[in-house]
Structure 1
Amino acid sequence: MTVRNLDAIFQPKSVAVIGASRRPGSIGGMVWERLVEGGFAGPLWAVNPHHAGESDNFDGHTVLADAGDLPEAPTVAILCTRPATWPALVHRLGGMGTRAAIVVGEVRDEDDRTHLRHALAAARPHLLRIVGPGSLGALTPALNAQLGAAASIARKGGVAWVSQSNALTNAVLRWAGARGLGFSHVIALGGECDVDAGDVLDYLASDPSTRAILLEVDTIRAARKFMSAARAAARNKPVLALRSGRDDAGDALYTAAFRRAGLVRVDTLDDLLDEIETLGVGRVAASDTATLITSDRGVATLARDAFLKAGDTLAPWSAEARAAIETALPHAQAGNPLVLGDTAKPEHFGLALQTLAPQRSTGTAFVVHAPTHSAPVEAVARTLIEQQRFAYRGMLACFFGGVDEATRDALHAHGIPVHTTPRRLARAFARLVDYRLGRELLMQTPETLPAQGAALIEAAQGEARAALARGQAALEGEAAARLLGRFGLHCEPEIHGDAGPGVKPVVDVAVEFRDDDNFGPVFHFVAPSPDGMSPPLRVYSLPPLNPVLSRDIVARSPYARYVAPEPTLTALTQLSQAVCEVREIVGVRLTLRVLPTATLIVAPRLQLAEKRSRFAIMPYPRRLEETLDWHGQRLTIRPIRPEDEEQHRRFVESMTPDDLRLRFFSAVRSFDHTQLARMTQIDYDREMALVATVDDDDGKPRTLGVVRAVADPDNETAEFAVAILSNLKGRGLGQLLMSRIVAYVRSRGTPWLVGEALRENAPMIALARRCGFTVTPTDDPGVVGFRMALE
């Protein structure tokens, strides 16, 4: 399961507390107190046989003796009882229609684990979701839904907190409450017997009340689901991750996984807490640079040092910006930082913001202020609020010594985050820049490398299978070099000295491909220290790799400046293709010999087996490629690839305006890079787009049509859409594509395929009927729905 019924946890309409109590210090007492104190407005029931019939001690709510006495099914139940009671309670509640349960109690021994397994089995037929065991709870402050035993009430805000730790969740709630900060949602996952971090990321990715997600995890349990959910979330909003244990052996792999998913890893809890202020309060637009505005030279120096250390994000000013400031504020020291002078008044801060507004290259405005007689904190804060409209890239503030509660709340209400030191300010902004850079990496279109022919790939697969049939569990030397050579890799079967007369390697990189318990197949690259003093280079990466991801690995190497990067990134991409295409390869050890203008594979050894673990990120599904004759042309139908962006842009531009309107339900002129990247860089684990292409006169592929199906995270329903070039309609291409997407979705075990079309789109409606869809009305009279059962 994934997001199914998570809305019951985060958007509850009614709540039952099983084991509610008023005994001080009891779990049932804390849960009941939080719910009542939080002001939950929906139906609220207390269940406890020892207090049946009481109401005086339960805030006017009559206590029920048994869950079966509930007048209706609660949306969510909070279980504060012993583990032995969980199976029967879950069975009873699930049968009534309850959709989720939060298990507060802990699992302490084998008997408790047995009861938990039985509770999960009882929940499954009813699709009832379980948070916990040992969960502090789930909080949605906008609904006054404080579900659980949290130490304090959470305030409403724009950041979601997701954690595996109850203690950290309590600490964060207290810290945020003392600073007037709030959350869209808070959830402590506990033992993750059912609902886990990947599920919650999937839900929050499309939650409109959540602007950013702060994630604290120790272990990822279902890597493929987590990576898919994390990549989807990071495309929509910042996701910052904290994981303790930098010294454990697998931590570098978590860093690689977070980076691959577009998550920003933070080093300390303090860093994560600062982002509650920055992301939960601020409305900071996309910007990679900032301008510091202050009145004091010493403060300016401190702030500049902080920004240089955090990532050198101060904006270089243009001559126009400098001249504008010198005209408007002749007594100021024009530049970045902008020093207004010791006698600066509040209005000078406002004038600086107004003057810099047209100078878009100056980036986000950062006001760093130490109070003076001429510019008191409260007056400067009011000026920032009044002049905020001029900070087109957003504004962040730092007031030495802090501000009073009323001033802080006023700044927060206007979307201005407030930090207490320049260091916190600089680091918080640097993490926003990291997010934007990571998101750009997710959205970059890789350049096309020469594709290996199907015959070469089949030959490599055949060599691996033949070796296994002979009882060989490994290939090395010439045999391994021959197999890898099918993918364009230049291999030397044995280790020897230089690559030739006068050619010395820049570095030999030890490469290992192996199975990880959490993430499945991974690459590990190790290179010696470049200077003998700094630590050796150790980099993990999750396949599949493309040229963009390979370039990211190469760019982080201290040796990168000594070599031409293309041979190495090509070798990495081809090596990734080899292990993706030849599924019998379960392990690799080799040396990547990097020369100034070439890269060789030296002494490869391939470990073979009949089966291996699944990739955390699904590779390109080449098995879905096919070529057929169609109206005298050779038509290729295959999954879309990231490098298809330019080809897909030409396809969309070839469609008529009316066809675009019928496909996208509104007038469309063109698509930018971000939109096209979303169309071509898909997650093959939950989405499929099949394109039909033919080669044009220059031998380049041209897209004639595309069909797409996107499954919900529960794989219960997939929604399809199809588009064909206007001049090809009526020639059977639409039905050809539809038959293949129906077969694909059916093969994934998805029960339903659905879609929609404008009522005026008669050809699409006719196509749907020919393919076996039932046409149904929708809530919009101008739109019809399509539905097909696949089971």
Structure 2
Amino acid sequence: MTVRNLDALFRPKSVAVIGASERPGSTGAMVWARVLEGGFGGPLWPVNPKYKTLGGHAVIGDAGDLPQAPSVALICTPPDTWPAIIHKLGGLGTRAAIIVGEVRRDADRLAVRHALSAARPHLLRIVGPGSLGVVSPALRAHLGAPSCTVKAGGVAWVSQSNALTNAVLGWAHARGLGFSHAVALGDEADVDAGDVLDYLASDPGTRAILLELDSVRAARKFMSAARAAARNKPVLALRSGRADPADALYSAAFRRAGMVRVDALDDLLDEVETLGVGRVAAGATATLITSDRGLATLACDAFAAAGGMLAPWPAEASDALLQALPHAVGGNPLRLGDDARPEHFGTALKLLAEHRSTGTAFVVHASTHGAPVGEVAQALIANQRFAYRGLLACFFGGLDAATRDALHAQGIPVHTTPQRLARAFARLVDYRMGRELLMQTPEGLPAQIPETVDAAQAQACAALAAGEHELTGEAAARFLERFGLTVETQGRPTAQAPDAAPTKPLPAADRTEDNAEPSRKPVVDIAIELHDDDNFGPVFHFTVPSVDGVSEALRVYGLPPLNPVLARDLVTRSYYARLVAPEPTLAALTALSQTVCEVRQIVGLTLTFRVYSDQVTVVDPTLRLGAQRSRLAIVPYPRRFEETLDWQGLRVTVRPIRPEDEAAHHDFVESMTPEDLRLRFFGAVGSFDHSQLARMTQIDYDREMALIATVASEEGFTRTLGVVRAVADPDNETAEFAVTVRSDQKGRRLGQLLMDRIIKYARARGTHWLVGEALRENTAMIALAKACGFTITRTEDPGVVGFRLALDEPAEPGAQAPRQGS
């Protein structure tokens, strides 16, 4: 399970507090008091046989006697009572519970297992045990024992630590900052960080997510959820324990998921201000506006330390500012002078708005007689609309609460020092760059033909059947060469797979007498290991020696699958990257990744990449084999769904979409008539940009599938004829489908062919329902849905019809029927 029933936690309609009390210092008293102080407006029921009334509310003696099922129940009783309480709540129809009490003994752990067993038949979700609670300030729902009431804001806080959660909530409260939601996960017996990320990824009230954790329970689910969230909004992660040997692996996982890792709690707290208050479209550059030369120097140093992001100005921008502000010193930073007035800051913002290359606006100011900080703040508020990429401020000496809140209300974050402001902005730039990395289109490599992959798998299976658990020497070389890797072994010439791209021949002066190995001096040797991590599954570990032999070697983790874009991200961190052509190294890394992804019998390996200026060879490979290994944390391209068939006189390949299909998909969309595009997208559609096409072609195979029908053109290019998609909700209860066929291929039953295959895929995946929608006038789509067995349903929009197909027997008792179009 993932997001199922989490709406009961984050959007509760009624609350029960089991074990509510008035005994000072008791958990029940703290939780009950906080719910009351928060001002929750829905039905609220205290449950405790010892009381008649609490806080003006009639007390229920037993959870089984509640007048109706609460959306969420807060359980403040001893562990031995949890299973029975969960059983009663599940029978009533309650969908979520928060266990506040902690687990201290083996008997308590047994009680948790029994409580989970009692919850499972009812699909009741449990947060905790040992959870501080879940806070949704917009609903005034303080479900637990937070240290203070929480103001509504745009940032969600998710943490595995109760103490840290309380500290952060108190810090934000003192500064007038708020949260969309705050979650203390506790022991994560059921609801974990991946579940919450999945929910918050599509929560409209959450603009950014701040995540604090020590460990990840289910790596594949976490990575899938984190990647989905990071595509939509900034996700910043704090993990303590840099000395932990696994810490570098977590850094690699965060980076691969598009999250930004922060190094300290202060940095994470600064983002409550930057992301929770501001609407900052972080480009790579900014313009600094200040009055004093000393402040300008301090601020420039801060930005240089954070990455040097001050924008170069066009000459016309300096000229315009100097005409309007003759006492200013033009350029970036812009110094308005010691006699600057509040209105001069507004003038600068107006003039800079005409020159977008100047980037995000930063105002750093200390109060003067001519420009008190309060009046400057009002000038910023009045002219904030001109800062098209956002506006951030730093006022030395601080602000009064009323002025601070006024700036916040206009979406202007305020930081206390230039260093904090610069670092906060740098993290937004990191997020933008990481998101772009997720959206990059990988360069295509020649795909390994199935026969080659099958031969490699057969070699591994034969070795295991013969009792061999390692491939070395000639056997390892033959195995790797099937994937296009060149292997150096003693007394043996380098080799290359027949289907691999040819390597440029070496000049005669660079060869040995027997043409065996390059005689040139290699640029660097990269040591590579693959090990099966208990949590993240197979991971690569790369070690690049230091340049001087004294400094630390570069050690980097990478999670397969890799493609050339992701491999480039790893390679460019090394000093040696500037000394060689990158393409051979990128191709070799991608080929090695494909080897691991395709052959599941590989449970570990050690080898060396010997990097020359224009070639990469493999040295001393050892492949460890086993019958079983962990699943990859990120699902690779699912080759098993490829199919080639004869259709309507064409040789058609139906397969999952790949990132390198972007160009063909662009042509596919461009080939469709405006009317067909309108019917597909429910409105007039213009052209699609790279970002939109990347979202269509770069999918997470763990929760989404897009099958395309392709043919090879006479020119040798691949042409897309149609595509069908199914996007499952995170708990795989319902998948929403859509199908599109080229306008010039309509009427040839290609839509039926694609629909048959997506239904088969969804059914095999264990999805319960396949749903979709179409405009009522789209008679062809309605007819296709009926032919495929869908039931036609009404929707809230009279111009739209819904489709619903049950893929198996009805879901478990108590399961909610899928919402149309969900």
- If the length of structure 1 is used for normalisation, what is the TM-score? 0.98
* Superimposed CA distance per residue, residues 146-198 of structure 1 (whole angstroms, 9 cap, x where no aligned partner): 11011111111100000000000000011001100000000000000000000
Whole-angstrom distance in 2 between the partners of 1:267 and 1:285: 23
Whole-angstrom distance in 2 between the partners of 1:110 and 1:750: 37
**Counterparts of residues 208-607 of structure 1 (less than 5 Å):** 208-494=204-490, 500=517, 502-607=519-624
Q: Contact 1:294 / 1:338 at 8 angstroms: preserved in 2?
A: yes
Using the TM superposition, give the Cα deviation of residue 501 of structure 1 relative to its aligned residue in structure 2, in angstroms: 6.2
1:647 aligned partner: 664
Letter of the 1:186 counterpart:
A
1:638 aligned partner: 655
1:616 aligned partner: 633
Q: Contact 1:202 / 1:713 at 8 angstroms: preserved in 2?
A: yes
* Superimposed CA distance per residue, residues 257-290 of structure 1 (whole angstroms, 9 cap, x where no aligned partner): 0000000000000000000000000011242111
* Superimposed CA distance per residue, residues 43-81 of structure 1 (whole angstroms, 9 cap, x where no aligned partner): 111111111x1x2xx221011211122111110000000
Whole-angstrom distance in 1 between the partners of 2:204 and 2:769: 26
Q: Report the more deviating stretch, 154-163 or 283-292.
A: 283-292
Q: Contact 1:399 / 1:418 at 8 angstroms: preserved in 2?
A: yes
1:132 aligns with 2:149: no
Whole-angstrom distance in 1 between the partners of 2:444 and 2:378: 54
Moved over 6 A (4+): 495-499
Q: Contact 1:705 / 1:724 at 8 angstroms: preserved in 2?
A: yes
* Superimposed CA distance per residue, residues 315-347 of structure 1 (whole angstroms, 9 cap, x where no aligned partner): 111111111112111111101111111111111
Q: Contact 1:495 / 1:603 at 8 angstroms: preserved in 2?
A: no
Q: Contact 1:494 / 1:602 at 8 angstroms: preserved in 2?
A: no
Whole-angstrom distance in 2 between the partners of 1:147 and 1:288: 40
* Superimposed CA distance per residue, residues 106-156 of structure 1 (whole angstroms, 9 cap, x where no aligned partner): 011110011110000000000000000000000001111011011111111
Using the TM superposition, give the Cα deviation of residue 305 of structure 1 relative to its aligned residue in structure 2, in angstroms: 0.3
2:798 aligned partner: 781
Whole-angstrom distance in 2 between the partners of 1:389 and 1:781: 39
Whole-angstrom distance in 2 between the partners of 1:701 and 1:255: 38
1:15 aligned partner: 15
Letter of the 2:520 counterpart:
V
Whole-angstrom distance in 1 between the partners of 2:406 and 2:784: 57
Whole-angstrom distance in 2 between the partners of 1:467 and 1:732: 46
Q: Contact 2:709 / 2:721 at 8 angstroms: preserved in 1?
A: yes
Whole-angstrom distance in 1 between the partners of 2:517 and 2:778: 66
2:502 aligned partner: none
Q: How many residues align?
A: 787
1:205 aligned partner: 201
Q: 1:745 aligns with which of 751, 756, 762?
A: 762
Using the TM superposition, give the Cα deviation of residue 416 of structure 1 relative to its aligned residue in structure 2, in angstroms: 0.5
Whole-angstrom distance in 1 between the partners of 2:313 and 2:477: 54
Q: Contact 1:495 / 1:602 at 8 angstroms: preserved in 2?
A: no
Q: Contact 1:756 / 1:783 at 8 angstroms: preserved in 2?
A: yes
Whole-angstrom distance in 2 between the partners of 1:461 and 1:732: 37
Whole-angstrom distance in 2 between the partners of 1:94 and 1:357: 58
* Superimposed CA distance per residue, residues 201-224 of structure 1 (whole angstroms, 9 cap, x where no aligned partner): 000000000000000010000000
* Superimposed CA distance per residue, residues 425-478 of structure 1 (whole angstroms, 9 cap, x where no aligned partner): 000000000000000000000111122222211221121111112121111111
118 and 495 in structure 1: CA distance in 2 versus 1, 3 angstrom threshold: farther
Q: 1:726 aligns with which of 728, 734, 743?
A: 743
Whole-angstrom distance in 1 between the partners of 2:794 and 2:203: 27
The DSSP-based 3-state class of the residue aligned with 1:559 is helix
Whole-angstrom distance in 1 between the partners of 2:726 and 2:12: 31
Q: Contact 1:17 / 1:78 at 8 angstroms: preserved in 2?
A: yes
1:762 aligned partner: 779
* Superimposed CA distance per residue, residues 676-727 of structure 1 (whole angstroms, 9 cap, x where no aligned partner): 1111000000000000000001121100000110100010011111011122
Q: Contact 2:282 / 2:425 at 8 angstroms: preserved in 1?
A: no
1:155 aligned partner: 151
Using the TM superposition, give the Cα deviation of residue 533 of structure 1 relative to its aligned residue in structure 2, in angstroms: 3.0
Whole-angstrom distance in 2 between the partners of 1:214 and 1:495: 56
Q: Contact 2:488 / 2:517 at 8 angstroms: preserved in 1?
A: no
Q: Contact 1:14 / 1:43 at 8 angstroms: preserved in 2?
A: yes
Using the TM superposition, give the Cα deviation of residue 495 of structure 1 relative to its aligned residue in structure 2, in angstroms: 10
User: Pairwise CA RMSD of aligned residues?
Assistant: 1.2
Whole-angstrom distance in 1 between the partners of 2:24 and 2:340: 56
330 and 784 in structure 1: CA distance in 2 versus 1, 3 angstrom threshold: same
2:505 aligned partner: none
Q: Contact 1:476 / 1:493 at 8 angstroms: preserved in 2?
A: no
501 and 588 in structure 1: CA distance in 2 versus 1, 3 angstrom threshold: closer
Q: Contact 2:12 / 2:71 at 8 angstroms: preserved in 1?
A: yes
The DSSP-based 3-state class of the residue aligned with 2:541 is strand
Q: Report the more deviating stretch, 39-48 or 528-537.
A: 528-537
1:87 aligned partner: 83
2:112 aligned partner: 116
- Point out where structure 1 has 5 or more consecutive residues left out of the alignment: none
1:39 aligned partner: 39
The DSSP-based 3-state class of the residue aligned with 1:764 is helix
Using the TM superposition, give the Cα deviation of residue 14 of structure 1 relative to its aligned residue in structure 2, in angstroms: 0.5
Letter of the 1:543 counterpart:
P
Q: Contact 1:296 / 1:341 at 8 angstroms: preserved in 2?
A: yes
* Superimposed CA distance per residue, residues 601-631 of structure 1 (whole angstroms, 9 cap, x where no aligned partner): 1111111112211100000000110111112
Identity percentage over the alignment?
A: 73
2:97 aligned partner: 101
Whole-angstrom distance in 2 between the partners of 1:741 and 1:218: 39
Letter of the 2:389 counterpart:
R
Q: Contact 1:155 / 1:181 at 8 angstroms: preserved in 2?
A: yes
Q: Contact 1:494 / 1:603 at 8 angstroms: preserved in 2?
A: no
Q: 2:57 aligns with which of 57, 61, 64?
A: 61
1:185 aligns with 2:190: no
Whole-angstrom distance in 2 between the partners of 1:255 and 1:325: 44
Letter of the 1:588 counterpart:
L
* Superimposed CA distance per residue, residues 215-265 of structure 1 (whole angstroms, 9 cap, x where no aligned partner): 001000000000000000000000000000011100000000000000000
65 and 501 in structure 1: CA distance in 2 versus 1, 3 angstrom threshold: closer
